[in-house]
Every structure is written in C-alpha cells, then in structure tokens.
Amino acid sequence: MKGTHMLGKNTANGKILRGYIEEIERIRADKKELNDDEKAIFASANAAGYSARRLREVLKIRTMKPADRQEAEAQLQMYLHAIGMDQEAPLYRHVGLMAVDKTVKSEVIEAFKQLVPHHGDITVNMGGAKVRLWRDKDGEAHAEDVIEAPQDEPLPLTGGGKKKAKKEVPECDEDGAFRLGNQAAKDNEPVIANPFPFGDPRRARWDEGWRSGAGSDGMGPDTSKKPGGDDE
C-alpha cells in the first residue's frame, strides 16, 4: 500500500500520526469557535435592526477587486435589461455611470450616435460592458448591450495541503500605511487586502488610503468628497 509506514503503539511513526490528527482536531475546534463567534455577531446585528443577509452581501462585495465589482454590476444591468426588468436603454445607463453632468448627458449620447455609420455598426466598451450602436433601415440609431458567452476557465490547482503563508506586515509608519493603501486601490486590490492586524492604528490609515485611491469605502460610492478629490 502506497505510503505505508511501520505503525505500532508508542512507535515514532505512531506519534507522528497522532500529531497530524491532533492538529486537525485543534483546527476544527478553532473553526467551530470562530463560527460560533460569527453567528453571535450576526445575531447581535440582527437584534439591532440590521439585515444579516445584507451584511453577508456587503462582506462578499468587500472581497471583490474594484474593477471586478464594476464589471459585475454592469453585467447584471445588462441581463436585467435583456429580460425586460430594466427599462432604461443601455447607452443612457452607461453614460449615466460616467463622470458626466446630467445637463450634458443627452449631448454625449447624441454624439455617440453620430459616430454610427449608415451601413454598419460600432461597439463601445464602457466600464467593462460593451454597447453596440447600429442604425435601422430608416437610418435611426439604436443601442443594445453586447452579452458575450462566458469562456471556460481552467480548474484551480490544489494547494497540496500546504498552509497559506501568513500576510507579511509592512514596516512603516501610519503615513506609509496610507500610501500603501492608496497604491493598493490603484493596483485593483480589494479593501480586505489590508496587511495590518486589527488593533494596529496603521490598519485604519491603510483603509483611508485605499478609500482615497478607489473613491469608495469598499461598500459603495464615497459621497463625502467630490470626484477627483484627494484626501492627502
């Protein structure tokens, strides 16, 4: 039998085997305790009037990279429009997501339509979502979302049972932590990538830097500052 060792009571291999089993049991006990703690926090939040389901959604969103979240939201809107649950035309919706003043929104859309050739079409990539512009037989311009078929992704390689390396804590002061967070947002890292442990004042500064770089708190648009502003 592959991997067979000479096992017996009080043998060296028996002690090694016991060590593996006890380590797994310890990890399972720790996981159960953490799960119980998490359930208690959800219960406390629910008693305070917060929706546990929405909290879980927020936690999931905070694990996403900013670009991935933007693409997912745009794709969701495309699907809703395709099945008739979103009545707003795709071009209007995408232009509305751009940093364009509402008073010039129609002008921007009309400018896009002027680019459509009389015999052909064009496709515009807007915020990770594609919009096709085309003209009907009467020459009127129209817009429709382009929904691409998903490509098969390769299966992830297994980790072979190896432990994940612990996140290394950078050696820097609070201002350095701010700059690291700012750069992480620009590198499209999720807000939960904060390398500083809870209780470390640099963790809060990293979060501030991330929000400054992303223009968001990881849960929604940051309405406390104007577009293009800088917290530094």
- Residue 36 has, within 13 A of its CA and on its CB side, a CA count of 6
Q: Please, which residues have CB within 8 angstroms of residue 115's CB and are 6 or more apart in sequence?
A: 122, 133
pLDDT confidence tier of residue 162, bands split at 50, 70 and 90: low
Q: Which amino acid makes up residue 144?
A: E
Residues 75, 93 contacting (CB under 8 angstroms): no
DSSP element (H, E) containing 16: helix 12-47
User: DSSP readout, 171-196?
Assistant: ---HHHHHHHHHHHHHTT--GGG--S
CA atoms of 121 and 115, how far apart (whole Å):
9
Verify that 128 and 184 share a domain, yes or no. no
Total structural domains in the chain?
3
Verify that 198 and 132 share a domain, yes or no. no
Q: Which amino acid makes up residue 70?
A: Q
Q: Please, which residues have CB within 8 angstroms of residue 43's CB and are 6 or more apart in sequence?
A: none
Verify that 82 and 138 share a domain, yes or no. yes
pLDDT at position 150: 57
Verify that 39 and 75 share a domain, yes or no. no
> Pick the residue with more confidence: 196 or 228?
196
Verify that 71 and 124 share a domain, yes or no. yes
Verify that 21 and 93 share a domain, yes or no. no
CA atoms of 197 and 190, how far apart (whole Å):
16
Verify that 207 and 136 share a domain, yes or no. no
pLDDT confidence tier of residue 22, bands split at 50, 70 and 90: very high
Asked if residue 168 belongs to a domain, the reply is no
> Pick the residue with more confidence: 160 or 103?
103
Boundaries of domain holding 208: 174-214
